[in-house]
Amino acid sequence: MKLFKKALLLFALALLGAAKLSAQEAYAVVEQNNGEQTLTFYYDWNRDYWVEQLNNYSSVTHVAEILSLNEGYDEPEWSMSNFSTIVFDESFSEARPNSFYHWFQYCDILPTVVGIENLNTSAVTNMAEMFMFSIELESLESLCMKQWDTSSVTDMSRMFYYCSSLKSLDLGGWDTKNVMSMNQMFYSCEALTSLNLSGWGTGYLADISYMFQDCKSLETIEMSGWNGCKAENMAGMFYGCHALTYLDLSSLNTSNVTNMQSMFSASEAGLNSMSLTSINVSGWDTHNVQNMRYMFHGCDKLKTLDVSGWETYFVTDMSGMFLRCNSLDGLDVSNWNTSLVTNMSEMFLSCTSLTTLDVSKWDTGLVTDMHSMFSGCLKLESIDVTFWDTRKVTKMNSMFSNCVKLNSINLVNFDTYNVTNMEWMFAHCESLTELDLRSFNTSKVTDMQWMFANCIRLTALDVSSFNTEKVQTMGQMFNGCRALTALDISGFDTRKVNYMSQMFMGTSNLATIYVGENWSTDALSSSYYYPPSSEMFKDCTSLVGSKGTTYDANFIDKTYAHIDEGPSNPGYFSEKTQDPIYEEGDVNGDGEINVSDVTTLVSIILGNTEENATSDVNGDGVVNVSDVTALVSIILGNN
């Protein structure tokens, strides 16, 4: 009995071995002939035959390699660019490859394709990077891609990445219901002018970020039927699509999207712009979006944009959002919730046509960066930021620069304790006649260059309370402030300032500049700027020092940048005389409060002695016997 069982087991193993030897498998054979290579795909029992041919390679058999099909994200064992012909043998129609990953990568010239009808794509799940970097590839017609069964594909990311010469693609019939990623799918397909993606299933699609990035010639994209899309990432989706003029995305489901960064942004900042004249996004659900950075950057043909109903509660970054939208004449963002936003830099930069902008109710308590926020808003006449919370802001450089029509702005509540950069903050605010900065704390600021440059209508500027002990650059700070007649910078500590070039240049009506004991130009001698004080006083033709030194066009650098001491040491500055400090009740000014002060006060009341700043002891505006009573109370210690 034992012998019978053993024999039966051996027989079963033999059958299994025979089955294994005879199993069908998918493989590819490389053959060479007259310097050209052919790649043929098979699905049969004959791999061993080809192995034998390879081992007996001769000029007769031409067999060079036998390759296995790749799976998942494994690299294929071939490079299509090496072949003149690709053959899908009739037997391959029964094969079910699951990955096309990198199959035609770097394939600038598509080989002649024979038997494409034998390529069954129904089991393929991975088409990622399939044609990646096939830069010279102009057509894919021989692959009959419209007929492909893509119902199992989950990844199409970077599929046509940098196919910059590809002129047309017919993918309208594809079944994409299971695709989860189309990230950078058509990246830099610069020759494509149109794409029809209507009817594509998008039920599982999560990532369409940078899908059409830098498709610079793309004029139309048909995306009807995408309303089932549940994408979470739309960042850069149409980035650099400079030829698109219209997009109707009103039916696009954006309820799950968290990232819209650079979605409609022009590429190469400052060099290119978008041609979009209309985008319908009014009905979008944005309640989950966290990032709107540079979203509409460079959309300089857009005249209207309705984002008034957007929910922005979770947004943390709005920097550059409307940068260079210079045709927008109106924008309603008045009801936006900005309580989580930390970055608003460049948000409205170069919105040159905006005439009104209501941001008065915005919560800015978490914002740290406001640099260039309103810069270049040429037509804005007022900006209400009266109640903004700026306690966490560190950058305000260029915040209002080039707002040439801005005629009023209330900054009395601005908390600038943490601000380190105020460069260009008010430069070219040419319509401002007054600016109250008494609340400004500048103790951490290191850069003030160009801060008030070309504020040509400012008749007075109180910066006497500025703490400048950390400031290193003041070049062009007051350049072109030609309406100023006096400037008190007596509180300035310039011992660390290494750049003062053109600091007062063009202040043609400025007659007096007051400085204090901490004014110094010593740091200029070791400055890496060259020259660090050039044209410091150029065209300051009204300037007169405290000892009568007048402007001399031969001395416009730091040479006369000190308090005037007359002909022996001429200077352009005047020393600020400190107002006397009075103590309440010290009527006679002897530093003590006693009965002598009562005697002096009585003399003042009787008209025998002139009033002074301490005569009105009780502060009622009148000097009389009531002040004597108040003074006696102080002396007795009752007040």
DSSP per-residue string spanning 439-496: T---TT--B-TTTTTT-TT------TT---TT--B-TTTTTT-TT-SEEEETT---TT
- Phi, psi at 126, each rounded to 5°: -125, 110
Distance set, CA 434 to CA 54, 346, 431, 438 (Å) = 89, 25, 9, 12
Q: What pLDDT, in 10s, does the model give residues 496-512?
A: 999 999 999 999 999 99
Does residue 199 carry a pLDDT above 90? Answer: no
More confidently predicted of 621 and 362: 362
More confidently predicted of 294 and 246: 294
Does residue 208 carry a pLDDT above 60? Answer: yes
pLDDT classification of 18: cutoffs 50, 70, 90: very low
Q: What pLDDT, in 10s, does the model give residues 517-546?
A: 999 999 998 777 778 999 999 999 999 999
pLDDT classification of 163: cutoffs 50, 70, 90: very high
Average pLDDT over residues 36-56: 90
Residues 6+ apart with CB under 8 A from 89: 40, 41, 42, 43, 44, 115, 118
Does residue 581 carry a pLDDT above 90? Answer: no
Does residue 11 carry a pLDDT above 50? Answer: no
Q: What's residue 516's pLDDT? A: 95
Q: What pLDDT, in 10s, does the model give residues 301-331?
A: 999 999 999 999 999 999 999 999 999 999 9
Does residue 557 carry a pLDDT above 50? Answer: yes
Q: What's residue 607's pLDDT? A: 87
Q: How far apart (Å, rounded) are the C-alpha atoms in residues 558 and 546?
A: 17
Q: What pLDDT, in 10s, does the model give residues 589-616?
A: 888 899 898 999 899 898 888 888 888 8
Pairing state of beta strands 85-88 and 63-68? unpaired
Range name among 118-122, 431-435, 617-621 with the lowest pLDDT average: 617-621
What DSSP state is assigned to residue 200? -
Does residue 15 carry a pLDDT above 50? Answer: no
Tokens for 137? 């590839």
Q: What's residue 60's pLDDT? A: 54
Does residue 22 carry a pLDDT above 60? Answer: no
Tokens for 350? 């170069």
Could you tell me which residues are beta bridge partners of residue 112?
85
Distance set, CA 334 to CA 99, 309, 311, 331 (Å) = 50, 10, 12, 9
Q: What's residue 584's pLDDT? A: 82
More confidently predicted of 55 and 269: 55
Could you tell me which residues are beta bridge partners of residue 222?
196
Which strand (E) or helix (H) includes residue 575? strand 574-575
Q: What pLDDT, in 10s, does the model give residues 459-497?
A: 999 998 899 999 999 999 999 999 999 999 999 999 999
Average pLDDT over residues 400-427: 97
Could you give the percent of the chain with pLDDT greater than 90? 74
Does residue 269 carry a pLDDT above 60? Answer: no
Mean pLDDT across the chain: 92
- Give CA angle at 477 (473, 478), nearest 5°: 160
Cβ 516 vs Cβ 490: under 8 Å: yes
Q: What pLDDT, in 10s, does the model give residues 270-308?
A: 568 999 998 989 889 999 999 999 999 999 999 999 999
Cβ 353 vs Cβ 331: under 8 Å: no
Q: What's residue 55's pLDDT? A: 80
Q: How far apart (Å, rounded) are the C-alpha atoms in residues 66 and 57?
A: 12
Q: What's residue 58's pLDDT? A: 57
Q: What's residue 417's pLDDT? A: 97
pLDDT classification of 7: cutoffs 50, 70, 90: very low
Average pLDDT over residues 434-455: 97
- Give CA angle at 638 (634, 639), nearest 5°: 55
Cβ 157 vs Cβ 185: under 8 Å: yes
The segment with the largest mean pLDDT, out of 123-127, 163-167, 630-634, is: 123-127
Average pLDDT over residues 24-33: 92
Q: Is 44 helix (H, G, I), strand (E, B) or coil?
A: strand
Q: What's residue 9's pLDDT? A: 45
Does residue 165 carry a pLDDT above 90? Answer: yes
- Phi, psi at 343, each rounded to 5°: -130, 120
Average pLDDT over residues 184-190: 97
Statement: the pTM of the whole predicted model exceeds 0.75: yes
Q: What's residue 16's pLDDT? A: 45
Q: What's residue 606's pLDDT? A: 87
Q: What's residue 223's pLDDT? A: 86
Average pLDDT over residues 208-231: 90
